[in-house]
Amino acid sequence: MRAVAILGLPLLLTTGHLRTAKAQADDVVRFKITNPGQALYKIAVPRLQGDGESAQVMQEVLSADLLASGLFKTLDPASFVADLAKEELSIAPDSWRTVGAEGVIKARAVSTGGDLSVEFRLYEVIKGDRPVLTKTYRAPVANVRRLAHIFADEVVRYYTNEDSFFGTQIAFVRPSGRLQELVVMDYDGAGQHSLTNNGSQNILPSWAPSGNALLYTSFVRGTPDLWSIPSSGGKPKRVSTRPGLNTGGVMSPDGTKIAVTLSFEGNSEIYLITPTGDIIKRLTNNLAIDSSPTWSPDGSQIAFVSDRHGNPQIWKMSASGSDQVKLTRKGNYNVEPSWSPKPINGKSLIAFSGRDEKGNLDIFTVDAATQDLQRITENQGSNSHPSWAPTGRALVFKSSRGGIYISTADGKTQRPVVKGAAETPSWGPYVKP
């Protein structure tokens, strides 16, 4: 048994793949996640055994995580025919094969005082009644949701050899009258807490690549200045306070530079500045409005919005400001670009908000290389300000359906994570424990 810290939380962990690494490599059923039309893997998550309230929470979180991944179809518990009491932590494969399950997750939760011990098991029905993955965790009862996220992450990693986004956070702006405060939450909407409480307008949060800080624009001093604040809470500090706009600041993937919109020279242009606010270089220089920068994963390019051809469109340029090219040519209002931190099926995609023929905003993606467009939302109200999960497998955005939604990258699975007034969500990075 070894002790590890999960995002600052104490946790005892024992692990056991009940096959050798070579055997797993030879016979495990892996997802071919580069296949865009693949069928979802059918997985059953029956109610966990043991501590009643914790078991129910973990079942709900596990099911929601796997559904959100876009890789699994979680089966309806009402369809299960297995004798769960008799099976306990094992499975009778025929009972699960009958309902179409390809995988089954079993778990038992035992609470002692304020601590919770949970044993998880993953079965592949085709492989019989021996679990292919087991994990045992112990942590305070208050961390029950985190335990479910951790095991769901292990399940995704088992099948795909990729990290999930289940342990990540999302920042957004919560408006209240004329005031707007920064809020951080778990990706699924749990654990919401405010970072700012200054009675002002705080807008456009974006994450440092380390996950330990956020950039944002605040009017707390009466002008739109660029600020930084620790993501765990703490004292904010001003980064850029030049006359006019200091907005839309985003840090480069290596954390050494910030692309930001400034207007101190009379026009809205994109600049590179240091993390302490010194100007490195002006990247755009024309009479149009240039704004909303977003970095490519390797930091070599920046996508942005410009209306230099009459309407706001998505453009890209090198990080030095050269080779400025228009990417979107359909529609007359395309804004709020967000560059996927990882390629998807070999494509480098930029999500953005585009106004359709009905006047609604919807989420689209454009391939940075081919300029091919794909529509993510349609006939689902107005949707705007997309931001990618660190895996590139999901998006978060604001929706007129009420609050903030997350969606698989193809738009097929969407669900609300924040209800009520909420603006400009920004998905944080994956931070290894």
* Topology given in CATH for the domain delimited by 169-427: Neuraminidase (2.120.10)
Residue-wise pLDDT tens digits, 222-232: 999 999 999 99
pLDDT of residue 31: 52
pLDDT of residue 263: 97
At residue 28, does pLDDT exceed 60?
no
At residue 17, does pLDDT exceed 90?
no
pLDDT of residue 178: 86
pLDDT of residue 113: 84
Domain ranges for the chain: 2-160, 169-427
Residue-wise pLDDT tens digits, 239-282: 999 999 999 999 999 999 999 999 999 999 999 999 999 999 99
Residue-wise pLDDT tens digits, 291-306: 999 999 999 999 999 9
pLDDT of residue 204: 97
This prediction has a pTM of 0.91
3-state secondary structure the chain: CEEEEECCEEEEEEEECCCCHHHHHHHCCCCCCCCCCCCCEEEECCCCEECHHHHHHHHHHHHHHHHHCCCEEECCHHHCCCCHHHHCCCCCHHHHHHCCCCEEEEEEEEEECCEEEEEEEEEEHHHCCCCCEEEEEEEEHHHHHHHHHHHHHHHHHHHHCCCCCCCCEEEEEEEECCEEEEEEEECCCCCCEECCCCCCEEEEEEECCCCCEEEEEECCCCCCEEEEEECCCCCCEEEECCCCCEEEEEECCCCCCEEEEECCCCCCEEEEECCCCCEEEECCCCCCCEEEEEECCCCCEEEEEECCCCCCEEEEEECCCCCCEECCCCCCCEEEEEECCCCECCECEEEEEEECCCCCEEEEEEECCCCCEEECCCCCCCEEEEEECCCCCEEEEEECCCEEEEEECCCCCEEEEECCCCEEEEECCCCCC
What CATH architecture is 2-160?
3-Layer(aba) Sandwich (3.40)
Residue-wise pLDDT tens digits, 337-383: 999 999 988 899 999 999 988 888 999 999 999 999 999 999 999 99
At residue 410, does pLDDT exceed 70?
yes
Residue-wise pLDDT tens digits, 162-207: 999 999 999 999 998 889 999 999 999 999 999 998 889 999 999 9
